[in-house]
Amino acid sequence: MAKKKSRNRKKKLKGIRILSALILIICAAIALKTIPGAWAFLSKYLPFIEEPRQITVPDGDMAVHFLDVGQGDCSLIVMPNGRTVLIDASVKDEGKNILEYLSYQKVTHIDYFILTHPHADHIGGAREVIETLSVGKVVMTDIETDTATFENLLLAIDKKNIPVHIAKVGDIIKLDNANMKVLGPAEKTDDLNNMSIVLRLDYGKTSFLFTGDAEEPSEKDMLEKFSPNEFRADVIKIGHHGAKTSSSLDFITAVSPQYAVISCGKDNSYGHPHTETINTLNKLGIKYYRTDEVGNLVFSSDGEKVKLLRPIA
């Protein structure tokens, strides 16, 4: 009888120990996630532990993030003084992931929220972003659609009284010591993809080109309006998720980037990126990365040179 009692006590003690260990692990995980600097503290004393998710750049550097948001687009620009630009917000289901990524980067305010065109894979998550964070200004085109996604987005913008700027070719959006120049759409058309806002961000001697879903007709119009030099960039976000209807040889030759980023979903039903686009990039010797293969991509610029931070090369 005494033996049985002692066995039961041992069993009980073992259970309590396992439960305590579990509670401790959960508390530690919550602490690491919620206490600012907890990871930094840990990684300082345990150098083999890397601080996850938050990307830090040296003082004075700008960061450009291309988020892995499935079959859609979302790019984040963070200036050295913390000013931010978000370009597009992928599909509705990615809204949460975008907000989570922004919280990892400690972004709580967006100075400019640029919506390249009103397709659901670019504005789908925008409503959630607008409802959750503070937004200084929305930049969009004057093209309207009658989809519920677009109408709900307008309601959300209205409800929070966010000023809207309709982008026009030649507009320059000033971001402290960086400029964003609107290069497209150079001509009006009924085609929503070709009405995508195309813009080049200049920081010092470095440039990034954001193309939305602009396709060959828009590329042609822009090349007719501006000199090829206007498109020169160190990094290009390839148009329309790598579809063969974008990225003409003339356009990519004008951009002549060091890196190309293709934002597309794993095994997407469109077959993006198309072989023709990859062939063009290979032909011009341009290094490209796909978000479906490498996840989030992050570049930094000190105004002299662009550096690839993620994936770690």
User: Which part of the chain contacts Zn ion (CB under 5 A), choosing from 41-49, 74-82, 100-108, 120-128?
Assistant: 120-128
Residue 292 found at the interface with Zn ion (CB under 5 A):
no
Query: Which DSSP category does 260 fall into?
Result: E
Strand (E) or helix (H) holding 34: helix 2-34
The minimum distance between CB 115 and Zn ion, in angstroms, equals 12
**Distance from C-alpha of 220 to C-alpha of 250, rounded to nearest angstrom:** 8
- Find tokens 């042609």 and name the residue: 220
The minimum distance between CB 243 and Zn ion, in angstroms, equals 9
User: Please, which of residues 148-167 interact with Zn ion by CB under 5 A?
Assistant: none
The number of beta carbons lying within 10 Å of the beta carbon of residue 158 is 10
Angle ∠(257,259,264) on CA atoms, nearest 5: 120
What mask of x and - would describe binding to Zn ion in positions 204 to 223, judged by CB under 5 A? ---------x----------
Residue 121 found at the interface with Zn ion (CB under 5 A):
yes
User: Which part of the chain contacts Zn ion (CB under 5 A), choosing from 103-111, 113-121, 142-150, 226-234?
Assistant: 113-121
Residue 88 found at the interface with Zn ion (CB under 5 A):
no
The minimum distance between CB 241 and Zn ion, in angstroms, equals 6
Smaller CB separation from Zn ion, 116 or 206: 116
Alpha-carbon torsion angle 58, 63, 68, 73, nearest 10: 180
The minimum distance between CB 153 and Zn ion, in angstroms, equals 15
At residue 256, the 3 state secondary structure works out as coil
Tell me if 179 sits within 8 A of 152, measured CB to CB: no
- Interacting residue ranges for Zn ion, rule: CB under 5 A: 121, 213
